[in-house]
Amino acid sequence: MVIPWTDEDRRELAELCRVHDQMMAEARANPLVQKSDAGGELVFKVIEDATPPAPQSEPQPSFDADERLTVILGEFALELQREWREERDKAIAPLKAEIAELKGKLDAVAELKGKVDALLTLLQGAKAEVIGLPRKRSSDAA
């Protein structure tokens, strides 16, 4: 698909070309590189220290400061663990007491169950020894 140029497009292109030509003329008037008067010979220039100075870095904390910070953070973490452990133990203590009470009750129930089982066994044995009496017949009444 071909899109025709409008008059506005042509004016904008002409303006850009004019600015470009102006920049080129300025560059020719003030060249960045100039020819030397050495007559075609190469000229070597020696610069003693051409490296730019190193940027100043922020002062780093000494190893001692890092070590002290590590010790302080370690002590802080240890103290937090102690506090958390104490809080946990206080919260768990009533639960432990309740568990012990329930275990005692469960032992009592188990003991009672054993006695009930023994009693049922005795009763079933006695039931087997019971002798049934014959029923009374209507003819026996007379």
Confidence band of 112 (pLDDT split at 50, 70, 90): very high
Predicted pLDDT of residue 76: 92
What are the pLDDT digits (tens) for 73-103?
Answer: 999 999 999 999 999 999 999 999 999 999 9
Confidence band of 29 (pLDDT split at 50, 70, 90): confident
Query: Rounded CA gap, 38 and 42, in Å?
Result: 7
Residue type, 72: I
Q: How much is the average pLDDT of 48-59?
A: 73
Nearest CA among 19, 3, 2, 22 for reference residue 11: 19
The torsion angles phi and psi of 40, rounded to 5 degrees, stand at 90, -5
Query: Rounded CA gap, 132 and 130, in Å?
Result: 6
pTM over 0.75: no
In this structure, the chain runs to a length of: 142
The count of C-alpha atoms lying within 13 angstroms of the C-alpha of 52, restricted to the half-sphere facing its C-beta, is: 3
* Angle subtended at Cα 111 by Cα 121 and Cα 113, rounded to the nearest 5 degrees: 45
